[in-house]
Amino acid sequence: MTGWIAADWGTSRLRIWALGAGGDVTGSATSDEGMSRLTPDAFEPAFLRAAAGLLPEAGTVEVLICGMAGARTGWQEVSYAAVPCDPIACPERITTSDPRLNVRIIPGLSQSAPLDVMRGEETQIAGFLTVHPGYDGVICLPGTHTKWVRVAQGRVLTFRTAMTGELFDLLATRSTLAGLTDDGWDEAAFDQAVSVAVRSTGALAADLFGLRAAGLLEHVAPGAARARLSALLIGQEVASMRPIWQDRPVALIGDATLEDLYRRALDAAGQRAESFDAGELTLTGLCAAFETFREDCQ
Amino acid sequence: MTGWIAADWGTSRLRIWALGAGGDVTGSATSDEGMSRLTPDAFEPAFLRAAAGLLPEAGTVEVLICGMAGARTGWQEVSYAAVPCDPIACPERITTSDPRLNVRIIPGLSQSAPLDVMRGEETQIAGFLTVHPGYDGVICLPGTHTKWVRVAQGRVLTFRTAMTGELFDLLATRSTLAGLTDDGWDEAAFDQAVSVAVRSTGALAADLFGLRAAGLLEHVAPGAARARLSALLIGQEVASMRPIWQDRPVALIGDATLEDLYRRALDAAGQRAESFDAGELTLTGLCAAFETFREDCQ
């Protein structure tokens, strides 16, 4: 029997878990109806479709959601909590039509200097801190918009987002580099190029053109060019984030392939990092938030 | 009567001038059939269409072309001259079908460390050096792929290309910043943002996400966001090129609007720059090359 429902609603994907009264997972579902494919009034029907097999036949169920469902263009916009603060602030109840649903969304985090925001990663951070209480270091969450987060004493102190994944996709598929970089992958080329990029002085726009010049002047296999583009972007990001990670433990949370690239870039910069599975930590964070905020707090 | 024909065939545009025996311009034509719209076998018909009113009724005419017509995907690929060297190496004759045409294309320039290439700008540089012989300094040619060129004693010593213009177009129209940055322009926002960006430490991917965060957390008018995106990219480019321009005169050659932005970015970095018209310099460079290489040299 479903005690409550947890959900992670991102830009491209919705994941749902049904939790029993004892906290055990009694069912789950996924959908590709991410935020980017939905208008605000399409969220509730999309949720009901995806969660159909998990909803109780009678009565209402508590639903706790993290991620982009709380964005301005999501289901309903919820606030940001300003760092420094606990990773998870009180979830905000939103209005729904179906009488079976009592839906709350976890606020994102914001920072005033430098200006920054996150939605969803705060829940993975909370999950990580549940498993590693007292962690004092940096959490890096690689993705389309990679987050570098300084945490200590159970709180998020500061963070920085780099849109490296999005730059990679734009450059590899839509730029003058596209013919060079749209396919293949050469692991050795990544390691060679990232060891240079992490010592970069920040001439990204020029280094990118260097990839094009290499394609014209030398024979560069597409897989090598694609790996070099990734190495250039990740390496320069790692270099620019040195003030955050220098002399601190680094935990990587994310997709295994991307985690591996960031781990190798950090290694080239002289920093060891440990990898953790994002999927499990999201659910752990949602469960911790559900326990902490059993009652509405507003 | 047409003595010879000069042409600048770029990625998006073809410009043609007819020159009299005395070097005077006796006619001109333009076409939007740039390299990006043509397959190699479409160049000759496109040239004949655009130059129709300028060709002699009988006999052959010498045609000297600079720019992307000599690229791998152009009319016919011609070589690169390796710097350090004179801006213009011996033009290469290409094969044509129409008996009225004797066509030569000016080689591009290449550099081995760091790898770089140019096609077309070498002719503007030659034009500039014709008007300013003995110039010892830097020529910056802003554009989709901006060139920074160190010249002295009539030669190109070294150069660097930044794909800043292309990054701006991709980010302003196809990224998650697009909704913020696709329209308008705020001059004061550019100057404010560029004064910060020229002191950048190179965290471009993070600074770009800062524009998105500003759009979510603060009211930012689209014109201000667009100007800030441009300022961020141009400012960081100017900062990264400091080793080239520091303590040297800087001449800007290009589109007047872009020239103005680069001039203001350099000014914010503490460097004065002087602007010159690109159109006139291209023709001046083509005429100088025609005089220097009246005969085939291969």
Chain B interface disruption, residue of A11, A117, A198, most B CBs within 10 A: A117
Alpha-carbon distance B3 to nearest alpha carbon in chain A (angstroms): 35
CATH number for the domain that contains residue A101: 3.30.420.300
Tell me, yes or no, whether B97 and B180 share the same domain: no
- Structural domain contains residue A194: yes
Contact B116 A208 (CB under 8 A): no
* Total residue length of chain B: 298
Residue A151: its pLDDT value, please? 98
Alpha-carbon distance B27 to nearest alpha carbon in chain A (angstroms): 34
Contact A175 B164 (CB under 8 A): no
Nearest Cβ partner for B117 among A72, A201, A216:
A216
Judged against a pLDDT cut of 80, whether residue A182 lies above it is answered with no
Q: From residue B148, how far is each of A15, A57, A203, B82 by CA, in Å? A: 50, 69, 13, 16
Alpha-carbon distance A203 to nearest alpha carbon in chain B (angstroms): 5
Q: How far apart are CA A65 and CA A106, in angstroms?
A: 6
Q: State the SS3 of chain B.
A: CCCEEEEEECCCCEEEEEECCCCCEEEEEEECCCHHHCCHHHHHHHHHHHCHHHCCCCCCEEEEEEEHHHCCCCCCCCCEEECCECCCCCCEECCCCCCCEEEEECCEEEEECCEEEECCHHHHHHHHHHHCCCCCEEEEECCCCEEEEEEECCEEEEEEEECHHHHHHHHHHHCCCHHHHCCCCCHHHHHHHHHHHCCCCCCHHHHHHHHHHHHHHCCCCHHHHHHHHHHHHHHHHHHHCHHHHCCCCEEEEECHHHHHHHHHHHHHCCCCEEEEEHHHHHHHHHHHHHHHCCCCCC
Tell me, yes or no, whether B44 and B101 share the same domain: yes
* SS3 of chain A: helix, strand, coil, percent, to 5: 40, 25, 35
Judged against a pLDDT cut of 80, whether residue A202 lies above it is answered with no
Task: List the pLDDT tens digit at each of the 298 positions of chain B.
Answer: 679 999 999 999 999 999 998 889 999 999 999 999 999 999 999 999 999 999 988 899 999 999 999 999 999 999 999 999 999 999 999 999 999 999 999 999 999 999 999 999 999 999 999 999 999 999 999 999 999 999 999 999 999 999 999 999 999 999 999 988 878 999 999 999 999 999 987 789 999 999 999 999 998 888 999 999 999 999 999 999 999 999 999 999 999 999 999 999 999 999 999 999 887 899 999 999 999 998 777 5
Tell me, yes or no, whether A111 and A12 share the same domain: yes
Tell me, yes or no, whether B112 and B169 share the same domain: no
- Structural domain contains residue B285: no
Contact B115 A203 (CB under 8 A): no
Tell me, yes or no, whether B173 and B264 share the same domain: yes
Query: Which residue in A has a C-alpha nearest to residue B176's C-alpha?
Result: A166
- Structural domain contains residue B288: no
Alpha-carbon distance A153 to nearest alpha carbon in chain B (angstroms): 26
Taking contacts as CB-CB distances below 8 angstroms, the residues of chain B near A112 are: 217
Q: How far apart are CA B250 and CA B148, in angstroms?
A: 9
- Structural domain contains residue A184: yes
Tell me, yes or no, whether A96 and A180 share the same domain: no
Residue numbers of the domain that contains A22: 4-119
Q: How far apart are CA A201 and CA A203, in angstroms?
A: 6
Taking contacts as CB-CB distances below 8 angstroms, the residues of chain A near B114 are: 206, 210, 213
Residue B23: its pLDDT value, please? 84
Q: Give chain A's mean pLDDT.
A: 94
State the number of CA atoms in the 13 A half-sphere of A24 facing the CB: 3
Kindly state the helix (H) or strand (E) to which residue A44 belongs, with its residue range. helix A43-50
- Structural domain contains residue A139: no
Residue B1: its pLDDT value, please? 67
Nearest Cβ partner for B161 among A110, A171, A206:
A206
Confidence of residue A298 (pLDDT cuts 50, 70, 90): low
Residue A279: its pLDDT value, please? 74
Provide the b/e sequence for B26-46 (b: ≥16 CB within 10 Å).
eebbebebbbeebeeeebbeb
Q: Residue B253 in contact with residue B120, Cβ under 8 Å? A: no
Assessment of whether the complete model's pTM goes beyond 0.90:
yes
Taking contacts as CB-CB distances below 8 angstroms, the residues of chain A near B217 are: 80, 110, 112, 115, 117
Domains identified in chain A, total number: 2
Chain A interface disruption, residue of B204, B232, B240, B242, most A CBs within 10 A: B204
Residue A225: its pLDDT value, please? 94
Tell me, yes or no, whether B167 and B98 share the same domain: no
Q: What does the block give as tokens for B186? A: 């705020």
Residue B13: its pLDDT value, please? 95
- Structural domain contains residue B63: yes
A/B interface, count of CB pairs below 8 Å? 139
Interface residue A239 vs chain B (CB under 8 A): yes
The DSSP code for A15 is E
User: Tens digit of pLDDT for each residue in A42-93?
Assistant: 999 999 999 999 998 889 999 999 999 999 999 999 999 999 999 999 999 9
Interface residue B175 vs chain A (CB under 8 A): yes
Q: Return the bridge partners of A29, or none.
A: A16
Tell me, yes or no, whether A174 and A271 share the same domain: yes
Alpha-carbon distance B86 to nearest alpha carbon in chain A (angstroms): 20
Phi, psi values for residue B168, rounded to 5°:
-60, -45
Alpha-carbon distance B209 to nearest alpha carbon in chain A (angstroms): 6
Nearest Cβ partner for B163 among A111, A114, A205:
A205
Q: State the SS3 of A129-163.
A: HHHCCCCCEEEEECCCCEEEEEEECCEEEEEEEEC
Residue the block writes with tokens 């033009």: B91
For chain A, what percent of residues have pLDDT higher than 90? 89
CATH number for the domain that contains residue B190: 3.30.420.310
Helix axes A256-268, A222-240, angle to 10 degrees: 70
Interface residue A219 vs chain B (CB under 8 A): no
Taking contacts as CB-CB distances below 8 angstroms, the residues of chain B near A233 are: 205
Tell me, yes or no, whether B63 and B165 share the same domain: no
- Structural domain contains residue A129: no
Tell me, yes or no, whether B178 and B77 share the same domain: no
Taking contacts as CB-CB distances below 8 angstroms, the residues of chain B near A171 are: 170
Q: Give the number of other CB atoms < 10 A from CB of residue B19.
A: 23
Phi, psi values for residue A251, rounded to 5°:
-110, 130
Contact B175 A166 (CB under 8 A): yes
Taking contacts as CB-CB distances below 8 angstroms, the residues of chain A near B161 are: 206, 209, 213
Tell me, yes or no, whether B22 and B112 share the same domain: yes
- Structural domain contains residue B145: no
Residues 74-133 of B with CB under 8 A from A: 80, 110-112, 114-117
Kindly state the helix (H) or strand (E) to which residue A191 belongs, with its residue range. helix A187-197
Closest listed residue to residue A27, CA positions, set A51, A46, A8, A47: A51
Tell me, yes or no, whether A165 and A273 share the same domain: yes
Alpha-carbon distance A26 to nearest alpha carbon in chain B (angstroms): 37
Q: Residue B36 in contact with residue B26, Cβ under 8 Å? A: no
Helix axes B121-131, B278-292, angle to 10 degrees: 80
Taking contacts as CB-CB distances below 8 angstroms, the residues of chain A near B241 are: 203, 206
Taking contacts as CB-CB distances below 8 angstroms, the residues of chain B near A206 are: 114, 160-163, 237, 240-241
Q: What does the block give as tokens for A239? A: 């270099």
Nearest Cβ partner for A206 among B162, B203, B206:
B162
Phi, psi values for residue A87, rounded to 5°:
-60, -35
